[in-house]
Structures are given as structure tokens and as C-alpha cells.
Structure 1
Amino acid sequence: MPGRPAIAGAATCDFHLAKPQYTETLQIVTSDTWAAVAGSLGLRCCRDRKPSEFSGEDLSGEFFASFPCFAVQLCVLRCTMRCWREDFVRSSKNIRTAFARGVAHVTQLPYRKSVTFQILGGTEMRYKLLTAALTATAALQLAGPAAATDLEVIHWWTSKGESAAVSQFAKAFDNDGHGDKWVDSAIALGETARSTVMQRVLGGDPPGAAQFNPGRQYEELISGGKLLDLTDVATAGKWDEVIRPKAIGSACLVDGHWWCVPVNIHSNYWAWYSKPVFEKAGVPEPKSMADFIAAAPKIKEAGFIPFAIGGDGNGWQIQLLFQDMVTEALGVAKRDEMYTKKSAEIAGGAEMKGVFTELRTLKQFTDNGYANRNWNDTTNLVITGKAGLQVMGDWARGEFAAAGMTGVKDFGCMIGLNEDKPVVSTDGDIIVFFKQDNPDVEAAQKRLAALLISPEVQVAFNNAKGSMPVRGDVDMSTADPCMQKSLKAVENPSNIVTATNRFITENTNQQINELVAQFFADDSMTADDATAKFSTIIGNSD
């Protein structure tokens, strides 16, 4: 089969369709060159204007005849370098043996984005756009399966602080000396990202890697043989020696094999408050939730939202608050017994009724705009001095840091919802890697796995994220007072709370989410009714 005809103004590329990897790159330097390239491919400029032909020899017929697997004519919008939107639009002309489905909506391109088009007959083509902001150079790359050292990573780190943190991973991987590239696929909301990953895996198009939380969320991927075994990487890096606490490593070490990389220790057991708000309301800073509830009326009288919370994503923020309150009310041992033994008796007891009653009390101190608010916008209410306190995991600390605030004078933190009984959960984030057919991709996956847990990357990522590193041998002496509290607490095994996800399935988790969200929203549901329903969910849990 003949090679691709040279295109004026663009790099000359050859296709070898017998190979599973093929790539076409068009280097667009100036508007004139772009016109020549577009003209030579028979492309049209579209959107908000009449289609206009570019001058140049129309080679589309020869092109499509020679390369039927690319028999899709894309109408590409020539935009300014300020922003690219709707970069790929379908054109009906010259679509012969294939059909492209989907439109890429790209509103921000920090360094790399991608979109996959499904081609008739099952073939998939992934289009990746790389841009340099405010420059006159762009490269458009059309590829089949991702290049050997390009790894797509799906995650839900989308807030300002989270984006700053994950960029540390990308920077380390992009500069590892092997030509590797982090291909970022950020999807807001964890349940949406996880659902996308599972659909991709079931469809035979898994990403190179994906974020999960420790627990039972990915056990079927292990049992189904979908994940890359990282035991050789873990052995070389002595993960079993450097990861602490051991419970963090156990989430990835299953049946003697390492199936994921733990990258941080996140604790749900935190409350974050605005020191200026408490000062202006004339109330002391809280040391427990009881202190806060006593101070909340005066905070409200002073014109502030006493309690900040959000209700997006099926009410996961409300359930986080609820689970923190459950541990505070039952204690760690009794709470663990309820989940491990599926004790409907404990779940339906007086202590749990007290939790629902206090949850209803807290609702009266929030604002009417809570229903669809995401967690980082809720944190921002505290950052900007509009709200007094938020109960949220320690990833909220990354938002304060991104805003240039410190835990010394700008905001306060309460560990475990009671400073006299500090607890930390062994939640966190892990990265799984999916089996690939290409040994070069597998090698790049293992390089990334080793980098994620390296001392330098652990410090850089977790300082930005607000979480603790999983390594016990890194220097965190420069951490702020809030992180110092957690670092001290995690040293005592009795202060460690096992993450709820270790005990319950995603199905049970969603049932609890829905119940707690409904109770918080519906004032007609009594604490007795909610307690009875919670008891049934736990008694029948997977």
C-alpha cells in the first residue's frame, strides 16, 4: 500500500496499516499553512460562518481510497489560540466506509485532552489535541491505540487544589526521561468517573490507569483479571516496608499480589472553620461539634451561614457528615461491629436515632442553596468568610492552600469532630492499571506506578492535595498545623478508623447515600423512620 502523499506545510507521515499502531501528525504553524493543510485534505472551515473551500489540491479522494480505515472527513474549526471549542465537527462529505459518532467539546486544554470516536464496525479512533496557550503553534494528532508511552489516566481530581496536586503526577511522568506522557482525563464526581471506567473496561477500551478509593469498588476488576499485576514494582520499591499504616497497603495487596498503588492517606474526619467568622460572631473556636452547635445561633445572628454543606452527587457530602457522626456516637469498636456483623440491632438503636436527630439540627443552620452545591464550592464559602464551618475530608485543606491561606491565622481545623478524641480514617486514593496488549505500554505503566510512590512525588502531591503521604520515611516537617495533627494521630493505631468502603459494597453505599440525602431534604421524615430504614439497609447489606 502506498504511503500518504506529502502535504504542503505539514510534516510528512507514512501509514503502515499492517501495524497496530499508526499516527498522523499535522503541525500547524501559521494561518496560511493551516489553509494549505486544510485545502490539501479537502477540509472545510465551519461553525458560525458559511463553509468555505480552502485553496490547494484536493487529495481527499486518493486519501480515502488509500486509507479506508480513516474514511471519515472531519470538518475542523480554525479558531484563535485563546480557546478551542467544538474542535471536531462531523461532515457528511466523503464518509464512505465508516461513521464517526461524537463531538469533542474542549473548553480548556492545560496540556492535553483526548476524545474517542466510535467507528462503524467496532474500530475506535482517539483524537488528541495538544496546544500551547497563547502561541501560534498547535499540533493535531490522530491516532489509533495510544502510543506506547502515552498513558490515559481517568480521575476525578477537578477542583483547584486537586488540579494543582495531580499536576505533580503529570509533571513527574512527563519528565521521567523515557518520553512518557500523562494523558489527562478528569471527570468530575467520583461515582461518574468510576462508572465511566467500568463502561470502558466492559467495552474493551480500558484507560491506561484510573483513580479509585480503597475498598470493594474494584474487587471485580481483580477477580476478572483486568488489572496489571504490580508485584514486581512493589517488591523492587519495598512497598511493604515503607507504606504506613499497614491497612493502606492491604487495600492493594490481595492474595499476595499488588494490584494498585496507594498514593495518599485521606481522612474524612475533619471540620474546617473560618477564624474571622467565629471572631466576628463573638464565639470561641470549636473543639467539638457540640461546641459548634452551641455557637451556631450566634453565627447566624451575625449574618453568616453557620454550617456549610452541599448536596450534589446523590448526597455524598451529607453521607460523609453522617458517617463521621456515626463514629463519634458509637465509637470505633461498636461502629466496626455494626458494619462487619451487619448488625441491624446496633443500626436501629438509640445512639443511631441520636445521630439522625443531630443531623436534622444541623440542617437548620445551613442555607437554602445547599441542594446541588459541590464540595469545593462549599469549602469556598468558608474560605471567603461567608460560612462558619464545613465538615469535609482533608482534601479541603488543599483548597485553602490553593487560596494562599494557612492554618495558623486564616482557618481552623477540628480533627475527628472532637479534639479530645482524635481519629483518622484510612481512606485515600489508589491508582489501578489495566492490562494492555502492548508491552511498551505495560512498561510505561510500571514506570508510572513506581513514580507515584517515590518520596519526592509523594511530598509534592500530598502537600498540594492536603492529604498525608503513604510513605512513613518522608520529611513532612514543613506541613501546616492541621496536617501535623493528622500525622500525630496516625501514629497511634487506636486512632485509626477503617474506611466504610472496606465494609460495604457500592450498592449498599448508594442506599445509605439516598436515605441520608432524603432525610436531610425531607423534614417530614422523622428520626425514628430514618433509623428504621438504616437498620434495614445494614441488616440486608452485601
Structure 2
Amino acid sequence: MVWTRRFGALGLACMLAIPADAAELVVYHNWASPAELTALNVLRQALEARGHSWLPLAIPHDANGDIDVVQLIQAGATPNVFLQLQPDIYRSLDAEGKVLHLDTQFAQSGVLAQFPSVVRDAITVDGVIVKTPVSIHADAMIYYSRAVAEAAGIDPESWTSLADMWADFDAVRAAGFQPIALGAQPWQVGYLTHALVASLGGPGVYAGLYGAVTDPAVLYDASLRDVFAWLRRFQQEADAGASQRDWNMATNMVIHGRALLQVQGDWMKGEWTAAGKTEADDYGCLFVPGAAHLPVTVDSWGLLGAVSPEVEAAERTFADVVVDAEVQARFARAKGSTPVRFDARGAVDACSQKVLAALDQPDFARPTPHLTAPPAWVAAVWDVANAYWNDPAMTPEAAIAALKAAQTAF
């Protein structure tokens, strides 16, 4: 059984009872949609088939902000396995000997040779492999309803820019549909912002804004004004229910023919699959038209160190299970992701084929900010983006000025 516990405050985490059984792993994650939970069950069943048990600890995206594993440990709710991207979290844990190293394990199993470079880079922190990769996702894709596009008499595949896309919205509205299904929860506005920076930013802007150290010069690049101008246009398309809408509820607006499209990570595909829909008949997928870059997420698990030999053995079994080729293929189908192994991709769909092609395109795919930038800076950018989204009177120039002011603290 998968359960979800929502915390109103971090202190409630202390109430969790952590099992003493070495073969029972507490698995911390922030996934909550039906497709995400179905994918997690693929991993759980594979782990249990190896003789270990899985106790889920879930704090969803929308539960008053993400709580990282370091905070959980400090609160006394220590997981064995945790879904975390940020390198700084692993540095902090590694400094205390609290994260397992996986270099030898992955090299001996031969799986390391099956990881593409984007995956190897994502799971390596300061020269050491400290993460177990589970999925590849494109952070910025458009999934659209073929039926709505046909009813409106438009062809999304013909778009070469956001302006082209917007030009078709009058036809969509005239046909009785909403152009964009939007969720405006803070993290969704944050993801849309870095999607627009990647798509519209001038040379070096995305890398400079979301690097390990922010390059102040990018805050003066003219393309940043375009980013905020387009963010405003998205905000103006938001309906009254957007502010509290989960991302998968927005996906279902497109699935059920209420809206033409959604701009989100390609985890959208898992919802389409769960609804029994196919790319051939029901939906199409494309990158942001005219995008300069594509932000890419490699979801990964960390394994707690400084544990008993029995628990460490179970954690390492978890890592082997996650990267198993057959498990990878089943997980990707359920989650809507692209497998992390070359040899688990025999039957990938057309949308994942586009992602794979993007990974091979020079200077196009870039790591998500969560893999490169300090978490505090990502949060600062999100704060500015959300303040801008929620204040229609705020200008792009004011938003950029707020970013400049925030950057001085770093």
C-alpha cells in the first residue's frame, strides 16, 4: 500500500516511527500523482521480490514546500532512501559520511557503461557517484490534444515560435476550448520560468543564471526581459482555478478535451498513459517552439550511509533494482519518462525518441537548475517569478531588478 503523509510543519515529521528491521527501507519521495505512484509500485514490487520491504514517506510537491532529507534527519525522521537532486544536499551528507558511494558497485555490475553522459554527470558530485538514477525527463515540453487541435483547425507541429503558438489561440477559443491548461502553484511557476529562460535566453543566459555561481552579467541580458514578458502572457491565460491546480489536474484538462495544451515536464505522458491514451491517436508532443535549449532532469535516489551492514546491503539492493534494465523499461512506461539505460530503450515511444534525440544534439539539452544551482538561489528566482505572476502591475523591468537585488546576497 502506498500512503501519503502531508506535513503542515516539519516538526510533525518527528512523529514518524522508523522501523528497526534492517530489511525494511524507509523511502522518501515527493511524488503523488496516479502515474507517479504506479511507477513507484514498479520499484516497490521489484524490491520486495528481492526479500526487502518498503515503507513510503511521501511529502508531495504541494505540501507547503519541499522538505529535504537533511531537514528530515535533523527532525529525527531518517529515511534510508531519498529522492533528491541537489548536489549541495549530497555534499552535506557526504561530509558526515551519511551517503553511500556507488562507483564500485555500478562499475562491477556493468551498468555504468549503459548510462549516457547526461546521466553519469547528474549522479556524480565532486567526482564521486552518490546517486542512483531512475528516470530522464524533459522539463519543458508541450503535450497537446489532437482532437482539440483538429476541431480548432490548427497544426501545432507547424509552430516555430511562441508567437506562432499564440497566434492560433483565437481559433482555439472560437472552437470552444481553453488554449492552455495551467497550474500556478509556486513550483509550477518556477518550472515554467526556467523553461522560458532555457527557450528564450540569449547565449549563455541559462547557464549563467543557473550555474553553481550566478553570473551577474546575465541579469543585464535583453533576453531576460523577453522571458518575463512571455511569463506575463502565460499568466494572462490562467483561469480562476489555476492557483490551486495540481499539475496532473491540468494534464487531465487536456486529456478530457477542455484545453488544447499544457507546458510542463514530460511526466505529463504518464497521465496520458494511465488514461489509456496513445501518442498515435490522442496526443502530440513537442518542445517549446524555437527553443534555444531544453532543461533536462535526471531523477535520482540517494542511499543513507553510516547504517548497519544489513541495512546497507538492502539499500544497495535497492540501487541494483532501480537500474535493472527490465525494471527501467516498466518504470518508464508507467512514469512517462525515458529510461536511464541505453539497453532499456528498445520500445520507447515517439515522445521519448524526441528526448533522446535532444540529448544527442550539441548544446541543446542542459541540466535542470536543481542539478546545478544552489537551492537557495533557485528558491530566490522562484520567489521573484511568483511575485511577478501574482502582481499583474509588476513589469519585467521590476522583476529583473528584484533578481539583481536577490543576487547580491549570493
Quote the offset at 1:423 in angstroms.
4.7
**Equivalent position of 1:540 in the other structure:** 408
Question: How far, CA to CA, are the matches of 1:114 and 1:535 in structure 2?
Answer: 37
**Equivalent position of 1:307 in the other structure:** 180
For 1:413, give the aligned amino acid: C
For 1:273, give the aligned amino acid: Y
Question: How far, CA to CA, are the matches of 1:257 and 1:336 in structure 2?
Answer: 23
Pair 1:497-2:348 in alignment = no
Quote the offset at 1:125 in angstroms.
7.8
| Aligned residue runs from structure 1 range 378-457, under 5 A | 378-415=250-287, 417-418=288-289, 423-457=293-327
Which deviations, in whole Å up to 9, do the C-alpha atoms of 1:415-437 show, x marking residues without a partner?
2x02x658543312110111253
Quote the offset at 1:443 in angstroms.
0.7
CA RMSD across the alignment: 2.5
**Equivalent position of 1:6 in the other structure:** none
Question: How far, CA to CA, are the matches of 2:363 and 2:68 in structure 1?
Answer: 37
- Which structure shows the bigger proportion of residues in helix conformation? 2
Report the 3-state secondary structure (helix = DSSP H, G, I; strand = E; otherwise coil) of the residue aligned with 1:460. helix
Quote the offset at 1:300 in angstroms.
2.2
Question: How far, CA to CA, are the matches of 2:5 and 2:180 in structure 1?
Answer: 39
Identical pairs, percent: 29
For 2:133, give the aligned amino acid: P
Report the 3-state secondary structure (helix = DSSP H, G, I; strand = E; otherwise coil) of the residue aligned with 2:206. helix
Report the 3-state secondary structure (helix = DSSP H, G, I; strand = E; otherwise coil) of the residue aligned with 1:431. strand
Question: How far, CA to CA, are the matches of 1:432 and 1:147 in structure 2?
Answer: 20
Question: How far, CA to CA, are the matches of 1:186 and 1:256 in structure 2?
Answer: 30
| Aligned residue runs from structure 1 range 273-352, under 5 A | 273-286=144-157, 287=159, 288-312=161-185, 315-331=186-202, 333-340=204-211, 342-352=214-224
Task: Please list every run of at least 4 consecutive aligned residues from structure 1 whose deviation after the TM superposition is greater than 4 angstroms.
Answer: 111-115, 190-194, 420-423
**Equivalent position of 2:351 in the other structure:** 482
Contact 1:149 1:180 in 2 (8 A): yes
Structure 2: 5+ residue runs without aligned partners? 7-13
Question: How far, CA to CA, are the matches of 2:332 and 2:261 in structure 1?
Answer: 23
Quote the offset at 1:195 in angstroms.
1.4
Question: How far, CA to CA, are the matches of 1:293 and 1:228 in structure 2?
Answer: 48
The one of 458, 474, 480 equivalent to 2:328 is: 458
Pair 1:152-2:30 in alignment = no
Which deviations, in whole Å up to 9, do the C-alpha atoms of 1:27-55 show, x marking residues without a partner?
xxxxxxxxxxxxxxxxxxxxxxxxxxxxx
Report the 3-state secondary structure (helix = DSSP H, G, I; strand = E; otherwise coil) of the residue aligned with 1:210. strand
Moved more, 199-208 or 317-326: 199-208
For 2:255, give the aligned amino acid: I
Which deviations, in whole Å up to 9, do the C-alpha atoms of 1:190-245 show, x marking residues without a partner?
8868516333311444111010125434332222322122333222223432211x
For 1:272, give the aligned amino acid: Y
Which deviations, in whole Å up to 9, do the C-alpha atoms of 1:295-318 show, x marking residues without a partner?
112222333221221122xx1111
Which structure carries more relative contact order (alpha carbon 8 Å, separation 6+)? 2
**Equivalent position of 1:36 in the other structure:** none
TM-score (norm. length: structure 2) = 0.89
| Aligned residue runs from structure 1 range 256-267, under 5 A | 256-267=127-138
Report the 3-state secondary structure (helix = DSSP H, G, I; strand = E; otherwise coil) of the residue aligned with 1:394. coil
Which deviations, in whole Å up to 9, do the C-alpha atoms of 1:46-89 show, x marking residues without a partner?
xxxxxxxxxxxxxxxxxxxxxxxxxxxxxxxxxxxxxxxxxxxx
TM-score (norm. length: structure 1) = 0.69
Question: How far, CA to CA, are the matches of 2:328 and 2:49 in structure 1?
Answer: 16
Moved more, 465-474 or 386-395: 465-474
Which has the greater radius of gyration?
1
Contact 2:199 2:292 in 1 (8 A): no
Question: How far, CA to CA, are the matches of 1:483 and 1:437 in structure 2?
Answer: 38
| Aligned residue runs from structure 1 range 20-419, under 5 A | 110=1, 126=17, 145-176=19-50, 179-189=51-61, 194-195=66-67, 197-244=69-116, 246-286=117-157, 287=159, 288-312=161-185, 315-331=186-202, 333-340=204-211, 342-415=214-287, 417-418=288-289
For 2:393, give the aligned amino acid: S
Question: How far, CA to CA, are the matches of 1:387 and 1:208 in structure 2?
Answer: 41
Question: How far, CA to CA, are the matches of 1:499 and 1:528 in structure 2?
Answer: 25
Question: How far, CA to CA, are the matches of 1:343 and 1:405 in structure 2?
Answer: 43
Q: Structure 1's 147 and 338: CA in aligned 2 closer, same or farther, altered over 3 A?
A: closer
Report the 3-state secondary structure (helix = DSSP H, G, I; strand = E; otherwise coil) of the residue aligned with 1:406. coil
